Amino acid sequence: MARGKRLIVGLGNPGPEYARTRHNAGFLVADAVAERARASFALEKGNALVAWGQVRGRPVGIAKPQTYMNRSGAAVRNLVGRYGLDLDQVLVVYDDLNLPLGTVRLRPGGSAGGHNGVQSIIDELGSEAFPRLRVGIGSDFPRGGQVDYVLSPFAADEEPLVEEAVALARDAAITFVCDGLAVAMNRYNRKTPRRPTSP
């Protein structure tokens, strides 16, 4: 596996009933990166949809585990092994309740922060040292309402901000592929969504 290759893994739940729910923000970003890379998804052994393409001449894979969120780690471990990737070549994209709706943040590693999908990946890989891109979905729910909130669709009046954030996260992921994590963090770790020139 050439060092130049990168894999973007968007987390979510498979099935049309989850398509535009908050918990599927990672899938939305993965779809946007695949569109930019002119790549089509196909189901691979290990239970993940995978697409390979290029952005700015750089090879990139985009994956959407089909194992449901809480078991994402098995699919990611299989992909890392199959493609001979180092963990710093993999960017995991997922929703985050701790960030305001539409905000995006990149980081080089760390704990799961209560996200079950990320915890599954940490458990399967035996490491927290993989880059991740968090997409804020806010936390406007009553006590005890977290599960219903993350599995609910975005409200109609939230959609413009969601679309902007997905485009921002897409561009951040592409910058990770082409220019590296440090450049992507410096460019995209902003407090509010603001789309810079596309990479």
CA dist 54 and 58 (Å) reads 5
Other Cβ atoms less than 10 A from the Cβ of 129: the count is 13
Segment 68-113, tens digit of pLDDT: 999 999 999 999 999 999 999 999 999 999 999 989 999 999 999 9
Q: Write the single-letter amino acid at 132.
A: R
Q: What is the pLDDT of residue 46?
A: 77
User: H or E element: which one contains 70?
Assistant: none
Q: What is the pLDDT of residue 2?
A: 43
Q: Which residue numbers are catalytic?
A: 23
Q: What is the DSSP letter of 50?
A: E
Q: What is the DSSP letter of 128?
A: S
Helix (H, G, I), strand (E, B) or coil at 167: helix
When pLDDT is averaged across residues 155-172 and rounded to a whole number, the result is 95
Q: What is the pLDDT of residue 3?
A: 59
CA dist 79 and 102 (Å) reads 28
Average pLDDT for the chain: 93
State yes or no: pLDDT of 192 exceeds 80: no
Q: What is the pLDDT of residue 1?
A: 35
CATH numbers and ranges of domains, the chain: 6-188 (3.40.50.1470)
Q: What is the pLDDT of residue 67?
A: 94
CA dist 82 and 173 (Å) reads 21
Q: What is the pLDDT of residue 198?
A: 57
Q: What is the DSSP letter of 141?
A: -
CB 180 within 8 A of CB 88: no
Binned at pLDDT 50, 70 and 90, residue 20 comes out as: very high
